[in-house]
Amino acid sequence: MLKDRIRNKELLKKVTTAERAAELVKDGMIIGTASSVFSSGPRVFFKALAERGKKGELKDVTMLSLSLLCREIDGALVEAGILKRRLGSITDDLIRKAINAGTVLGNDVRTEMVSHLIRSECCGKMDVAVVEAIGITEEGHIIPTNMLLEAANQVQKADIVIVEINTTLPKELEGIHDVYVMKRPPEQGPLCLHKLSDRIGTTYIPAGVDKISCIIESNLPHQSYPAAFQAVGPGGEKMAGFFLDFMREEVKKGRMPKNLLPIASGIGQASDGILRALAKSEFEDLEIFSPIVGDGVVGLIDAGKCRMVNGPVVFLSDEAGAKFREHIEEYKKKIIIRSIDVTHDPGIVRQIGGIALNNALEIDIYGHINSSHIGGTRLVNGVGGGGVYAINAYLSVFCIQSTGKKGDISSFVPMVTHVDHPEHFVDVIVTEQGLADIRCLSPVERARIIINNCAHPDYRPMLTDYLERAIKTVGGHEPQMLDEVFSWHKRLKETGSMKQK
């Protein structure tokens, strides 16, 4: 099967074992790869690399990847004790614990900056690029899988390129990609993407026979995320209802076209609930320009509601994934997997005028967003591409349940313990309680509408009391009583609840 996937027969000479490929890695090297939170990516290679670490042959490697790498990559390197620095988004428990404990040095790099760091070599020269692929062209170029992300930049800059061909993935994926590799300033010109159906790159990652160091085979199937990962409860349905009503008003007021604007949405209960609601709504000819193409997007296509979809990765459940494989040629007419350089380019996001749907961990009364750190100290996940969409989108929307931990945690507090998205990047906040349009409002006006529309009724009196006392005793543009701003978090730590006894 591997011979069928390598159309340049000269490259068959470079087929080797994962163990021999792993021997190319030396201490101090920077490695780049792409994967997803569940089991996907070049896992065969990284298993062999971890085994070298367990034998004491490696002690110090750096991983530079925007991906939420799976347990078999991030976790395996942590268990082997060889991962010393991790640059980019994280989600696996092992790497999260290691970063929070300080045994792995972490930097939550924004998605749109990862390719820049690779090209500029600000963090050092990329030594090794490990790319999962479905095949290699006659010219020796790499055909990506369902994940393109920043792989093209890794290949261009790395001295060693290792290709892991996964023979379980459908060859029919070829042609769905649009690979565009940016240049370093000042050589980079404007991106000429005028509509989402435009193609400005190639269907492969440019490489060539001489660029590829070795090829290994994988027959490990990709594991889809559990169905529960995107389960939409009553809270998600209510959020979706508030959001759709708001969109109808925006259309009525002439602020949105009838088919809205391109929607950027990740995977999660809130955003997926909105996409599912859109599939049942009166809105048609929708476009998706998103950091992730998930079940909700496929559902829009199946419902005949979606004109075109762009994203750097397609990440589906078992049910949606099976349907995607069965009708892949039809989906390829609607979906283009693009380079991260395009999907997260600030100019393109601003040009298309998208609607950004982001999630949050906590929000304060003035609209500052914490999306990555619990209690301001413990990293949960990376900020990812949320920032570039939030600041450049036509409409920046943040979705969150009003409470957590069965009501003991209020998602709305006097001041967030960590700021990922300042108030200036936020237009709309929506919970299962309601929606707050905070555009053009002063901080105090924002606070009042956020408390009244979005906070849980159990916490509204407490938030209102804090706000009014802050206005009266401190004043200023954004009144805050510095001796009380984190009292809610302190009470949670001491009593297990933010509620006053």
What would the pLDDT profile of 145-190 be if each residue is shown by its tens digit? 999 988 999 999 999 999 999 999 999 999 999 999 988 888 888 8
Q: What is the mean pLDDT of residues 266-282?
A: 85
Count, residues in the chain:
501
Confidence band, pLDDT 50/70/90 cuts, at residue 362: very high
For the ranges 263-267, 295-299, 334-338, the lowest mean pLDDT is seen at 263-267
Looking at residue 342, what is its pLDDT?
94
Of 218, 241, 257, which residue constitutes the final position of a domain? 218
Q: Are residues 344 and 405 in the same domain?
A: yes
Looking at residue 235, what is its pLDDT?
80
Domain assignment present for residue 237? The answer is yes
Q: Is the pLDDT of residue 229 over 70?
A: no
Residues 6+ apart with CB under 8 A from 215: 2, 6, 11, 14, 15, 16, 136, 162, 163, 164, 165
Going 151 to 156 to 162 to 165, the CA torsion angle's sign is positive
Own/partner long-range contacts of 80-86 (Cβ < 8 Å, ≥24 apart): 80/49, 80/50, 80/51, 80/52, 80/53, 80/54, 81/53, 81/54, 82/49, 82/50, 82/52, 82/53, 82/58, 84/59, 84/60, 86/62
Q: Are residues 173 and 235 in the same domain?
A: no
Give the whole-angstrom CA distance, residue 469 versus residue 384: 36
Domain assignment present for residue 186? The answer is yes
Tell me, what DSSP letter sits at residue 373?
E
Q: Is the pLDDT of residue 68 over 70?
A: no
Q: Are residues 339 and 388 in the same domain?
A: yes
Q: Are residues 232 and 194 in the same domain?
A: no
Greater pLDDT, 114 or 397: 397
Q: Are residues 172 and 259 in the same domain?
A: no
Residue 427 three-state SS = coil
> How far is the CA of 154 from the CAs of 117, 180, 436, in angstroms?
10, 13, 41
CATH of the domain at 412: 3.40.1080.10
> How far is the CA of 322 from the CAs of 133, 218, 226, 315, 325, in angstroms?
19, 20, 14, 12, 5
Going 326 to 328 to 334 to 339, the CA torsion angle's sign is positive
Looking at residue 413, what is its pLDDT?
98
Domain assignment present for residue 470? The answer is no
Confidence band, pLDDT 50/70/90 cuts, at residue 267: low
The reported pTM is 0.92
Confidence band, pLDDT 50/70/90 cuts, at residue 1: confident
Looking at residue 193, what is its pLDDT?
92
Q: What are the two backbone dihedrals, phi and then psi, of residue 409, each rounded to the nearest 5 degrees?
A: -120, 125
Domain assignment present for residue 475? The answer is no
Domain assignment present for residue 382? The answer is yes
Residues 6+ apart with CB under 8 A from 327: none
Cβ atoms of 215 and 165 closer than 8 Å? yes
Q: Are residues 180 and 288 in the same domain?
A: no
Average pLDDT, the chain: 91
Q: Are residues 250 and 114 in the same domain?
A: no
475: which 2 tokens? 């004043």
Of 172, 187, 218, which residue constitutes the final position of a domain? 218
Looking at residue 38, what is its pLDDT?
60
For the ranges 27-36, 204-213, 239-248, the lowest mean pLDDT is seen at 27-36
For the ranges 328-332, 347-351, 383-387, 483-487, the lowest mean pLDDT is seen at 383-387
Give the whole-angstrom CA distance, residue 272 versus residue 295: 8
Residues spanned by the domain of 374: 227-457
Q: What is the mean pLDDT of residues 100-126?
A: 85
Domain assignment present for residue 465? The answer is no
Q: Are residues 29 and 175 in the same domain?
A: yes
How crowded is residue 206: how many other Cβ atoms within 10 Å of its Cβ? 16
Structural domain tally of the chain? Answer: 2
Q: What is the mean pLDDT of residues 384-391?
A: 84
Looking at residue 228, what is its pLDDT?
46
Looking at residue 109, what is its pLDDT?
76
Q: Are residues 22 and 155 in the same domain?
A: yes
Q: Is the pLDDT of residue 123 over 90?
A: no
